[in-house]
């Protein structure tokens, strides 16, 4: 999911990424105050107001979901975003919120290298979701270690509107 933050002095493109059940839909639900649309098969836009700012979330398919019978990879999502950026006449993203469900068995590290041509690693926020948020320090020193050594930040999403707004603020206030 891409977050497009606009005001008079800023025009940044942002997005959220995660595998199925990583918490992206819950995040959007909390920001909007109502359930998110059904899972997307392409890039769809949702505009919300966060702290007096208009923020457009560009929802992408979940990594590891299936679109047209094909499993979606991180590179597929990156290419969808690159195509969207071309339509918007932009060269790069301003940042990424990368979701990780602490309840599941997500053991693969975030693939920050896949986004290198459209986003700096320092503009990535790794968002922990789920009931086991107490594992955040362990994530930071294990599977998130490489991304964090390149400048990515960690954020615990506690499934509230306020927490979702704080995560957006981390990425828009960079």
Architecture of domain 2-172: 3-Layer(aba) Sandwich (3.40)
- Split at pLDDT 50, 70, 90, the class of 12 is very low
Q: Is the pLDDT of residue 34 over 80?
A: no
Instruction: Read off the pLDDT band of 157 (50, 70, 90).
Output: very high
Q: What percent of the chain has pLDDT over 90?
A: 6
A 10 A CB-CB count for 71 gives: 10
Please list, in sequence order, all residues whose beta carbon lies within 8 angstroms of the beta carbon of residue 119, skipping any fewer than 6 positions away: 92, 93, 94, 95, 96
pLDDT attached to residue 4: 42
Maximum mean pLDDT: which of 4-13, 57-66, 92-101, 149-158: 149-158
pLDDT of 90 reads 67
Single out the residue of 31, 5, 14, 6 nearest to residue 97, CA to CA.
14
* Mean pLDDT, residues 30-58 taken together: 71
Note the pLDDT of residue 3: 45
Average pLDDT over residues 94-103: 80
Smallest Cα–Cα separation from 35: which of 20, 22, 25? 25
pLDDT at 94 over 60: yes
Q: Which two tokens stand for residue 168?
A: 């957006």
Task: Indicate the domain borders of the chain.
Answer: 2-172
How confident is residue 155, by pLDDT bands cut at 50, 70 and 90? very high
Q: Which two tokens stand for residue 4?
A: 């497009």
């Amino acid at each position: 999911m891409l977050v497009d933050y606009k005001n008079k002095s800023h025009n940044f493109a942002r997005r959220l990424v995660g595998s199925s059940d990583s918490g992206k839909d819950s995040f959007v639900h909390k920001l909007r105050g109502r359930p998110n649309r059904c899972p997307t098969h392409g890039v769809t836009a949702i505009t919300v107001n966060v702290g007096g700012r208009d923020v457009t979330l560009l929802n992408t398919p979940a990594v590891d979901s299936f679109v047209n019978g094909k499993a979606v990879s991180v590179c597929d999502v990156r290419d969808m975003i690159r195509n969207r950026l071309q339509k918007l006449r932009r060269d790069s993203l301003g940042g990424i919120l990368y979701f990780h469900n602490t309840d599941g068995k997500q053991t693969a590290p975030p693939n920050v290298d896949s986004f290198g041509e459209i986003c700096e690693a320092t503009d990535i926020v790794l968002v922990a979701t789920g009931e086991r948020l107490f594992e955040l320090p362990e994530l930071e020193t294990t599977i998130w270690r490489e991304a964090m050594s390149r400048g990515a930040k960690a954020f615990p999403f506690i499934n509230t509107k306020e927490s979702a707004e704080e995560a957006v603020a981390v990425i828009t206030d960079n």
